[in-house]
Amino acid sequence: MSQSLSVRKDVWGDATTGKLGMWLFILIDGLSFGTLLIGGAALRAGAASWPEPGTVLNIPLTAFNTFLLICTSFTMVMALNSVQRDDQKGLVKFLLLTMLGGMIFLGIQVYEYTHFIMGSEHLGEQLAKAGMSGTKFLTTSSVYAGAFYVTTCYHGLHVFSGVIYIFCILMAAMRGRYSSQDYDKVEILGLYWHFVDLIWILVFTVIYLI
Amino acid sequence: MSDGTAHKQSFITKYIFSTDHKMIGIQFLWFGTFWLLWGGLQAMLIRWQLAYSGQPVPIIGKLLFGASDGIITPDIYNQIFTMHGTIMIFWAVTPLLSGAFANFVIPLQIGARDMAFPVLNMFSFWTFFLSGVILLASHFLPAGPAAAGWTSYPPLSTPVGGIAGHGQALWALSLTLMGIAVIMGAINYVTTVIRMRAPGMGYFQMPLTVWGIWLAAILNAVFVPIIAAGLIFLLLENVFGTQFFIAGSKATVEGGDPLLYQHVFWIFGHPEVYILILPIWGIVSDLLSVFSRKPAFGYRVTATCMCIITCLSAIVWGHHMYTTGMSPLLGKAFMFLTLLISIPSSVFFLNWLGTLWKGSLQLRAPMLFALSVVFVFGIGGLTGLYLATVTSDIYLHDSMFVVGHFHYTLAASVLMGSYAALYFWFPKMFGKMLNPLLGKIHFWGTFIPLNIVFYNMMVTGYAGQHRRLYDPYIYEFLQNLKPLNTQISWWAWLLGAAQVVLVVNLIWSLMKGKKAERNPWNAATIEWTVDYPIPHGNFAQMPTVYTGPHEYSNPAIQGRDWISQTEKLTAAS
């Protein structure tokens, strides 16, 4: 692009303007997640009791979801690797796999939410163990429930945006927009996707495991 | 597009969904001006209530508060001061500084063709616009807009707290959207300044205006996401019935915590005041130099001090919370850190005086406003010390003293600084000069009432008047403040009326104003090397920078007292 006239090459190594922008966004977004997680931790610190891990939330299911999301990080790296080798088919294949992984992740999250919102006798028993009443696990159930929903939903929105983002890049990739000379947009997409993965590992640890 | 030549654009791509930083800047300018007038009108209404408590508002009263025969009821009063604060900070001053002037000035002053992400820039404005629409819509809810103060502390701001209606939810929603818009802008400004500077433009060749706006953008990038998360909590509280911030019977088991919101709010809220004032510091530093015909005194020190303040501003939020029951030990630490800020602040304040010292002052309209910032910011800064100190703050907290103090720093300094910037860059924005005589009338009409109003607010606060009382005179000890409050109100209305002069000046100058020369102020920065109208892409030939931003009265220059940053000093002599 003719924009290069006004771009300084001598600072920040070879990072392009777009990459710098994405890193800034990641810093910003990380801070918003940080506030949600630390806010949740502060509420927990002030609480007299807090449900034991695994009483309400389904750890094995979400562990599978976590594994899935980590796998999509791998496929994203493979997509970048493909475009760097000018392997157009590989790029499209791995972007498609990454998008699919993201969609399955969202599907499982929706299943989990539905299960909580519809409620069941079994869920009611589990909730009673954790000191909550009723057979449904809702935002109004407790501060714990609120913290669970706000953090996972905020992350889910990021995965959802990520899936749309991948779809846009995928469309361009299918038209042969990227090559080993010009793959900046794929790399920036990768930055975002890896960030969403990394944040999920933190969310999974804080909300589900401890 | 980026080759610097003009090209055909339709009306919609040129004026509405424009990606040109100059047009987006102008869009922000009108957007901010609209809200400034709206928020100003609300200030006039607050003053009516404090002067003529419980009497119907004349002329516009019936129109605005028909249900109560033009009388401002306690509920309406709460809504008005809440909206006044919210609008002035987030929808008037933020778009003017971090929207209009940041957009217009950054690429022109660093010699770039446009912002790093022009499309993101467009989205930033339209997201901001949408947030404004939502906020405006909340005024028309059956139960009225938010009414828990601009800080919206829970439990007042939650359904449990008893404020009826959905105003608070819309408040949180519109503020979150505004945050997203500001974040888009911040990503743009930070990246642009890092990557798009013209050849030869090092960080220490940048005008201080760019320094100020850049640092403010960094603060925006770091702290707006934090309040956005806090607002998401608050939104869920209002819409989905969570109880994060409720310390009730339920919370004794589960630990809802109203203080959590206050911490999150002020972790953002204190940097926010620097987000507002840093661009002004930069603009004033540059303007003082231009109109004293002297290099800015201690340029590098000023820039460094602004950086230090930017860092310190992140760790002083607790001074807003001395009286909340926070640990006194923490209070002491926050007091120490807060008072530390006065050191770099004093340094660059002295640098301003150093710039003025023995300068050839030209008292043109932008300079008058810039000089008034030096004065009002001095007062605002000094009165801050009483609030930073725990012992005096415990008495002064939540009184009109606080109101007077932050109006001196935010309303007076930021507003006067914005006016200075407006008078200064108007010729480059619209190709016309603002009328200097009307400018001076506007200046004195603003400066004198403003000082009387805000100074006396501090007096009433010192006498014990709480900041948010609907009718202070139900308390016997405040009854003798009624004459003073009435006088403040009359001066405040004069202050409001003086802004009509500005509006008249804007309209008159746009229609019939004198055509501006390329460089009417003989300023050295790059934006004055291009002719109005500046084409999409700004520069026909990319500028190269040879000198600093304040080359005035250099003895080596022959024939005139300044050279542009794009000229070689040796070539001119």
CA-closest candidate to residue B81, choices B31, B170, B173, B151? B151
The model's confidence at residue B73, banded by pLDDT at 50, 70 and 90, is very high
pLDDT at B248: 61
CB spacing of A24 vs B221 below 8 angstroms: yes
pLDDT at B262: 92
Report which of residues B257 and B87 the model is more confident about: B87
- From residue B392, alpha-carbon distances to B384, B389, B398, B401 in Å are 11, 6, 12, 11
Q: How far does the CA of residue B410 sit from the closest CA of chain A (Å)?
A: 26
Burial of B207 (0-12, 13-18, 19+ CB in 10 A): buried
pLDDT at A11: 46
Give the DSSP letter of residue B532.
S
Q: How far does the CA of residue A89 sit from the closest CA of chain B (Å)?
A: 30
CA-closest candidate to residue B136, choices B34, B279, B236, B224? B34
Question: What mean pLDDT is predicted for residues B211-221?
Answer: 95
CB spacing of B242 vs A46 below 8 angstroms: no
Q: How far does the CA of residue A137 sit from the closest CA of chain B (Å)?
A: 12
CB spacing of B255 vs A46 below 8 angstroms: yes
Report which of residues B363 and B556 the model is more confident about: B363
CB spacing of A32 vs B225 below 8 angstroms: yes
Mean pLDDT of chain A: 89
Which of B191, B244, B253 minimises the CB distance to A146?
A: B244
Q: Determine the Cα–Cα distance for residues A151 and A146; give it in Å rounded to an integer.
A: 8
Instruction: Give the architecture (CATH level 2) of A17-47+58-209.
Output: Up-down Bundle (1.20)
Which of B2, B191, B252 minimises the CB distance to A17?
A: B191
pLDDT for A75 beyond 90: yes
Examine residue B126 and state whether it is found in any structural domain, yes or no. Answer: yes
Q: Determine the Cα–Cα distance for residues A185 and A166; give it in Å rounded to an integer.
A: 10
Which of B2, B117, B244 minimises the CB distance to A43?
A: B244
- How is chain A split into domains, by residue range? 17-47+58-209
Examine residue B471 and state whether it is found in any structural domain, yes or no. Answer: yes
Query: Are residues B38 and B472 in contact, defined by beta-carbon separation less than 8 angstroms?
Result: no
Q: How many domains does chain B have?
A: 1
Report which of residues A43 and B493 the model is more confident about: B493
Query: Are residues B565 and B530 in contact, defined by beta-carbon separation less than 8 angstroms?
Result: no
CB spacing of A31 vs B240 below 8 angstroms: no
pLDDT for B444 beyond 70: yes
Q: Tell me the CB-side half-sphere exposure of residue A11, using CA atoms within 13 A.
A: 18
Reported as type and span, the H/E element at residue B540 is: none
pLDDT for A6 beyond 80: no
CB spacing of A31 vs B251 below 8 angstroms: no
Q: How far does the CA of residue B70 sit from the closest CA of chain A (Å)?
A: 40
Q: Which residues in chain A are contacts of B260 at CB distance < 8 A?
A: 39, 42-43
Mean pLDDT of chain B: 91
pLDDT in tens, B258-307: 888 999 999 999 999 999 999 999 999 999 999 999 999 999 999 999 99
Query: Are residues B31 and B103 in contact, defined by beta-carbon separation less than 8 angstroms?
Result: no
pLDDT for B326 beyond 90: no
Residue B459, token pair as written in the block: 């007096």
Q: In chain A, what is the straight-line distance between the N-terminal and C-terminal CA atoms, in Å? A: 49
Owning domain of residue B323: 11-572
Residue B539, token pair as written in the block: 């520069």
- From residue A183, alpha-carbon distances to A19, A79, A91, A165, B497 in Å are 11, 10, 11, 15, 58
CB spacing of A150 vs B226 below 8 angstroms: no
Give the DSSP letter of residue A207.
I
Q: How far does the CA of residue B191 sit from the closest CA of chain A (Å)?
A: 6
Q: Which residues in chain B are contacts of A154 at CB distance < 8 A?
A: 232
pLDDT at B253: 55
Phi/psi at B255 (5° precision): 85, 40
CB spacing of B255 vs A131 below 8 angstroms: no
CB spacing of B542 vs A29 below 8 angstroms: no
Percent of chain A with pLDDT strictly greater than 70 = 93
Report which of residues B363 and B2 the model is more confident about: B363
Lowest mean pLDDT among A47-61, A168-182, B331-345, B506-520: A47-61
CB spacing of B2 vs A2 below 8 angstroms: yes
CB spacing of B195 vs A44 below 8 angstroms: no
- Greatest Cα-to-Cα distance within chain A, rounded to the nearest angstrom: 67
Q: What angle do CA B289, B306, B538 make, to 5 degrees?
A: 60
- The residues near B62 (Cβ < 8 Å, ≥ 6 apart) are B56, B69, B70
Q: Which residues in chain B are contacts of A33 at CB distance < 8 A?
A: 229
Amino acid making up residue A192:
Y
Q: Which residues in chain A are contacts of B240 at CB distance < 8 A?
A: 139-140, 146, 149
Examine residue B464 and state whether it is found in any structural domain, yes or no. Answer: yes
Residue of B nearest to A147 (CA): B244
Amino acid making up residue B386:
Y
pLDDT at A130: 82
Q: How far does the CA of residue B252 sit from the closest CA of chain A (Å)?
A: 7
The model's confidence at residue B177, banded by pLDDT at 50, 70 and 90, is very high
The model's confidence at residue B1, banded by pLDDT at 50, 70 and 90, is very low
Which of A36, A49, A146 minimises the CB distance to B243?
A: A146
Which of A21, A32, A45 minimises the CB distance to B187?
A: A21
Give the DSSP letter of residue B562.
B
Percent of chain B with pLDDT strictly greater than 90 = 76
pLDDT for B372 beyond 50: yes
Amino acid making up residue A76:
M
Q: How far does the CA of residue A136 sit from the closest CA of chain B (Å)?
A: 14
Give the DSSP letter of residue B523.
-
CA-closest candidate to residue A164, choices A110, A95, A66? A95
Beta strand segments in B242-362, E: none
pLDDT at B212: 96
CB spacing of B242 vs A149 below 8 angstroms: yes
The model's confidence at residue B7, banded by pLDDT at 50, 70 and 90, is low
Residue A17, token pair as written in the block: 């303007």
pLDDT in tens, B531-545: 988 888 888 888 999
The model's confidence at residue A55, banded by pLDDT at 50, 70 and 90, is confident
pLDDT in tens, B11-67: 888 888 889 999 999 999 999 999 999 999 999 999 999 999 889 998 888 888 888
pLDDT for B161 beyond 80: no
Residue of B nearest to A51 (CA): B254
Which of B120, B186, B236 minimises the CB distance to A146?
A: B236
Q: Which residues in chain B are contacts of A1 at CB distance < 8 A?
A: 2
Q: How far does the CA of residue A172 sit from the closest CA of chain B (Å)?
A: 18
- The residues near B282 (Cβ < 8 Å, ≥ 6 apart) are B207, B208, B209, B210, B211, B212, B213, B306
pLDDT for B155 beyond 90: no
Question: Number of CB pairs < 8 Å for A and B?
Answer: 138
Q: Which residues in chain B are contacts of A27 at CB distance < 8 A?
A: 221-222
Examine residue B3 and state whether it is found in any structural domain, yes or no. Answer: no
Query: Are residues B537 and B2 in contact, defined by beta-carbon separation less than 8 angstroms?
Result: yes
Q: Determine the Cα–Cα distance for residues B515 and B434; give it in Å rounded to an integer.
A: 10
The model's confidence at residue B192, banded by pLDDT at 50, 70 and 90, is very high
CB spacing of B2 vs A48 below 8 angstroms: no
Reported as type and span, the H/E element at residue B1 is: none
Mutation pick from B195, B201, B232, B267 vs chain A, by most beta carbons of A within 10 Å, is: B195
Examine residue B2 and state whether it is found in any structural domain, yes or no. Answer: no
Amino acid making up residue B37:
L
Examine residue B85 and state whether it is found in any structural domain, yes or no. Answer: yes
For B347-400, what is the HEC assignment?
A: HHHHHHHHHHCCCCCCCCHHHHHHHHHHHHHHHHHHHHHHHHCHHHHHHHCCEH
CB spacing of A39 vs B233 below 8 angstroms: yes
The model's confidence at residue B345, banded by pLDDT at 50, 70 and 90, is very high
CB spacing of B232 vs A12 below 8 angstroms: no
Which of A39, A48, A139 minimises the CB distance to B264?
A: A39
- Provide the residue count of chain A: 210
Which of B117, B195, B254 minimises the CB distance to A144?
A: B254
Lowest mean pLDDT among B150-159, B254-263, B305-314: B254-263
pLDDT in tens, A151-190: 999 999 999 999 999 999 999 999 989 998 889 999 999 9
pLDDT at B354: 96
pLDDT at B3: 43
The CATH number covering residue B542 comes to: 1.20.210.10
Q: Determine the Cα–Cα distance for residues B127 and A43; give it in Å rounded to an integer.
A: 32
The model's confidence at residue A14, banded by pLDDT at 50, 70 and 90, is low
Residue of A nearest to B257 (CA): A43
